[in-house]
Amino acid sequence: MAEHVIQFHVSRPQSRVEKIGLFLRKNRRLIIAIQWVIVILYAAMVIIPAFLPLPAEDQHIYDNLRLFAQFCFWGLWWPGVMIATVTMGRVWCGLFCPEGAISEWVSQYGRGKALPRWLKWTGWPFVAFVMTTVYGQLVSVYEYPQAALLVLGGSTVAAIGIGLLYGREKRIWCRYLCPASGVFAVLAKIAPLHYKVDRDAWDKYQGDFEPVNCAPLLDVRRMTSASECHSCGRCAGQRDAVTYSARSPFSEVLDFNNVAKTPDALTLVYGVLGVATAAFQWTLSPWLLQAKLAAAEWLVDHDHFALLDNDVPWWLLTHYPEASDLFTWLDGALILAYLLGGGFLLGSLLLIGPALAARVLKTEHLTWQRFTLALTPLAAASVILGLSMLTVTHLKAEHLWLGWLPYFRISLLTAGCLGSLWLALQLVLRSTGKNAQKWTAGVVMLWPVGLMATIWTLVFFVW
């Protein structure tokens, strides 16, 4: 029925982008088949490597499944997902994510219980992201497939459990609890491709139509943001009002009809730019090394050796004697403090700029949340730079030429900084403040951009 509605009621010229959305809606079975192929590949590469021995020193990505899976997950998958989200919206969620597909499928056979109030708390994606990021660093999820099985497999089991308990053919896990959902919601705000809803066309439509099964439980009629949309294409062409469209990557942040939500702002500044940045660079930080040496020396001098013990379960702290990689309790405590304390400190320092800009301008829609969202291009560049460090690690092990790397890093960081500064400038110009207030707001927004640029410069070119 849906196919006929699209065919007979869409008579105006269609752009190539719009046709992509309609294609996705018409070929739902193909998408489901692709999702199940990904589920099988995902399960194989998460489970099998966890039972394989350490690769020999002369083995490579192309001749060792453990190394291959590690490169696919952390060298290609995560950076690729972030790039896709920034450019096309949450297409990973809607078209490819194995967790989402499984959760939606099992929910058909679940209990369909009503959603409890605690599950709808808007802070869960941020809390889940921070907890997953920190725990992943403690157990070295990027280096060891056992840890990857624990973290990724545990997340998948939780998604299945939520699917069996709540909802009917819905993605409850993805909407409320997925650790990556908050990050995707922030990055999708600057995606130049999105599903646009024409509210007037929706309300005036008089033809037949088939209701849309929106898996993430969105009110499609009132959708104005790409943050929660999974870009699956199921609603494309609905009531001749929903189109897959191109837009300016800055339009959503600059549109005052889109509410700048506090959870999104906090996820951006404390999650993506705070804890995630600390997670990417703690292994290179001379500050953490100095703190560890000083703490260890003090413990030895005072005959306190308990924290120097490395006999810790691998699922709690990294413990792989065969690889000579063992974390002590001191290591765990310092990493935990660095990620949480350092991430909170960095996030708070970054927040100074948006808070002061909003306070100086005193314009109704120019809140600290909206000025924080102006840092989205910088957050996108930051997370891609951080994840690509894993890619570079694998490429170096394969002795590939990386002469292009410094230029790539400088270009991406520059693009993120300039994008955020341009967004901040546009917000300032839309204020009702006096020129002196606008100048002050523009200057204080240089602070978070300059701080992040300095941190990545230290990571790549100093440390």
Residues of the chain with pLDDT under 50: 1-8
Whole-number pLDDT of residue 6: 44
Q: Which residues are 195's β-sheet partners?
A: 244
Whole-number pLDDT of residue 356: 97
Whole-number pLDDT of residue 12: 62
Whole-number pLDDT of residue 168: 84
Place of tokens 């002795």: 399
Spell out a b/e string for 298-313, using b for 16 or more CB atoms within 10 Å of the CB, else e: ebeeeeeeeeeebebe
Question: What is the rounded CA–CA span in Å between residue 371 and residue 357?
Answer: 7
Whole-number pLDDT of residue 207: 83
Whole-number pLDDT of residue 7: 42
Whole-number pLDDT of residue 211: 87
CB 335 within 8 A of CB 159: no
Nearest to 463 by CA among 283, 327, 207, 316: 283
Residue 91 CB burial class (10 angstroms; 0-12, 13-18, ≥19): buried
Whole-number pLDDT of residue 5: 42
**Secondary structure (DSSP) of 186-219:** HHGGG-SEEEEE-HHHHHH--S-------TT---
pTM here is 0.93
Whole-number pLDDT of residue 193: 97
The per-residue pLDDT for range 3-12, each reduced to its tens digit, is 444 444 555 6
The per-residue pLDDT for range 39-50, each reduced to its tens digit, is 999 999 999 999
Q: What is the DSSP letter of 93?
A: I
Q: Which residues are 166's β-sheet partners?
A: 113
Question: What is the rounded CA–CA span in Å between residue 410 and residue 399?
Answer: 22
